[in-house]
Amino acid sequence: MLKDKVAVVTGGTRGIGYATVKKFLENGAKVVLFGSRQETVEKAVTSLKAENSAWEVSGVWPNLKDVKAVETEINSIKEKYGKIDILVNNAGVSDSTPLDKYTSEQFANIMQLNVNSIMNGILPTVKIMKEQGYGCILNTSSMVSLCGQRSGIGYPTSKSAVNGLTWSLARELGPFNIRVNAVAPGITNTDMVASLPKEMIEPLKAAIPLRRVGEPEDIANAFLFLASDMASYVTGEILSVDGAMRT
């Protein structure tokens, strides 16, 4: 579905990001994954190469909050491959801090990581996509962007901003044949969820109409569809992948 496409995936060393990188590779893409640290990036790339040595995958670890560092890496990818077909903005941070323990610095940091850093990748990538006459930008939103959560206000606020960014960029970039969509995962079996005790997990499952927690591959499948030509007339969508748990 992505044969010979060049994709960049931020937050690609574990969880949803790693599953998305693997899914793209399985479908013929060349992938550059971004991670926060050299050791985690190299571990992810080594793991993927061990599964299939023919996969063309590499990794870098720029500070996503540093616009120049991100621009340098994006331009290097363009120089190497001659194009960038897909950008997946998956890197981010969650939070559940109660309001009475919040600080303005903490709130600003979450917005910086979850919103500003996305723009740091989008700005240089859009220049490349406009030059080549097409492109696909995908963002990771969240179920709580649509319904909120009981604490940790910075996280749903930042993901609501991601939705607004997605809708607006889809309208602005559509005339340049650049599609912009987002995936809004529900509770997903990442490292954080897997570490929760069974007595916490079971009530969560009971609240999900499909009666199970999502798997990273469920989210990766949504990204694959939106990145592929099967979604060539889909833009400005926030695709919920949450088993209908939206309260």
SS3 label, residue 211: coil
pLDDT value, residue 206: 87
Please determine, for residue 197, whether its predicted confidence score (pLDDT) is greater than 80. no
Instruction: Convert the pLDDT of each residue in 146-160 to its tens digit.
Output: 888 888 999 999 999
User: Of 102, 134, 155, 233, which residue is the catalytic one?
Assistant: 155
Kindly report the number of other CB atoms within 10 A of residue 66's CB atom: 12
Q: Where are the domains of the chain?
A: 6-241
Q: What is the CATH number of domain 6-241?
A: 3.40.50.720
Residue 217 · residue 23 · CB < 8 Å? yes
Is pLDDT larger for residue 163 or for residue 246?
Answer: 163
Q: Is 155 a catalytic residue?
A: yes
Please determine, for residue 92, whether its predicted confidence score (pLDDT) is greater than 80. yes
pLDDT value, residue 247: 54
Is pLDDT larger for residue 204 or for residue 59?
Answer: 59
CA distance 219 to 96: 22
Q: What is the pTM of this model?
A: 0.94
CA distance 52 to 33: 16
CA distance 151 to 169: 29
Percent of the chain whose pLDDT exceeds 90: 84
